[in-house]
Amino acid sequence: MNLTYNPILGRTEVARRWFRSASPSPELGTAHVLIRTAAEPIVVWHGHPGPVERLGEHRRYVIDVANHRLSFTVRAASAEAVFPFAVRVDLACRVLNPLTIARDNVQDMTAALLPSLSREIRDTAARFAVLRPTDAARAIEMRLSSAHPSPDVELGGYSVTVEPVNTQGVVEAKQELGVQELRRKEMRDVSHGSPEEQIAQLLATNNGDVREVLEYLSSERNTEAEIKLKALQIAMGGNLEDMDVAEVHRTAFGNLFGGKHTGFDGKRESMRERVERRTKAAIESRPVVSEAAEPASNDKPAGALPDNAPADKAPADKAPSAANGSSGAEPSGDA
């Protein structure tokens, strides 16, 4: 609701007359404006005597020149045009030039000032987002206070209030986003901290209840153990050479359990040792046959000649046989 006043307190048509003495002075806080047809208007202030010369027919205005409070509300678009501001302005007003008021017949001071003030308000409000009403109000107040003064009225004592219109949902959403951003900012330091700091944060948010902390630690250990076991199974599986399997084992133990695992004896095998070990294993895996082994089947009698021996030679351990085939007996006496 606007607060205004009518600066013209009275208007009187005065016939031609001759003033033998000065006319009565205006009351406190008022001024008289005498508008003549064929002469310049006359302004009579409180405490000053009126004209004493002969005056023709004229019109006399009684103008209120005291201080008054004005207030009005205007709609002004924000930086987001679909979300306007409701801007309420309270100010003090005092007439400086009663002649302008009388000549323009101003009967509503707020309505007379509203066009120029609204232009300043809208130009300023358009620079601010809908969720920055406080900043917009401060800027509007500074803009109005520093505006070029008018020679007809004195304005001052501005008080500006800015409220978003029909933006309750937007305000709530922005507020929620702001709260989430604050939480993320606080949690960012915790997430980058040590496990002890994270546990301390968990205790702080649960009023010192350690049950959730214990569950968290147990879950972390179980998850880590499962990951290590699965990775170890993958590392130990597959059709790899023995030297490759050993290398995979060493790498897996080093990556999963930390430290430098170079084998069970702490010594890493060189390339030459690997080649020698693989070559030795290949040789030892072949079957070995003895050169002095006898044939599996031998049907020849003892003392027989080898297959490649000459036929005319007899064994050394045999006596030569008689020509007639006897075994060396004496010849008979009949011979």
The full set of domain ranges for the chain reads: 8-64, 68-166, 195-236, 242-283
**DSSP E strand boundaries for 16-78:** 30-36, 42-45, 58-64, 68-77
- Say if CB 154 and CB 91 are below 8 A apart: no
What pLDDT is stored for residue 177 in this prediction?
79
The Cα 262–Cα 251 span in angstroms is 8
The Cα 91–Cα 235 span in angstroms is 82
Q: Could you tell me the CA-to-CA distances from 243 to 41, 277, 289, 296 in Å, in that order?
A: 118, 9, 30, 42
Cβ neighbourhood burial of 90 (10 Å; 0-12, 13-18, 19+):
middle
Instruction: Write the CB contacts of 320 (distance below 8 Å, at least 6 apart in sequence).
Output: 314
What pLDDT is stored for residue 218 in this prediction?
75
Query: Residue 135: what residue type?
Result: D
For residue 158, give the 3-state DSSP assignment: strand
Query: Residue 318: what residue type?
Result: K
The Cα 164–Cα 87 span in angstroms is 9
Q: In what order do the strands lie in the sheet with 153-164?
A: 68-77, 84-95, 153-164
CB neighbours of residue 37 within 10 Å: 8
The Cα 196–Cα 217 span in angstroms is 11
The Cα 178–Cα 183 span in angstroms is 9
pLDDT tens per residue, the chain (335 residues)? Answer: 789 999 999 998 877 665 555 567 889 999 999 888 778 888 999 888 777 666 677 888 999 999 999 999 999 999 987 888 999 999 999 999 999 999 999 999 999 999 999 999 999 999 998 888 999 999 999 999 998 888 999 999 999 999 988 766 676 777 787 888 877 777 776 666 677 776 776 667 766 666 766 776 677 777 776 776 676 666 666 555 555 556 666 666 666 555 555 444 555 656 677 667 767 766 666 665 554 445 544 555 555 555 555 555 444 444 444 444 444 444 444 43
What pLDDT is stored for residue 321 in this prediction?
47
The Cα 104–Cα 81 span in angstroms is 36
The Cα 14–Cα 24 span in angstroms is 14
Domain 68-166, architecture per CATH:
2-Layer Sandwich (3.30)
What pLDDT is stored for residue 81 in this prediction?
78
What pLDDT is stored for residue 198 in this prediction?
67
Q: Could you tell me the CA-to-CA distances from 267 to 156, 257, 270, 273, 279 in Å, in that order?
A: 92, 18, 9, 12, 21
Structure tokens at 231: 């990775």
What pLDDT is stored for residue 326 in this prediction?
42
For residue 307, give the 3-state DSSP assignment: coil
What pLDDT is stored for residue 269 in this prediction?
58
Give the DSSP per-residue string, 272-295: HHHHHHHHHHHHHTS----TTPPP
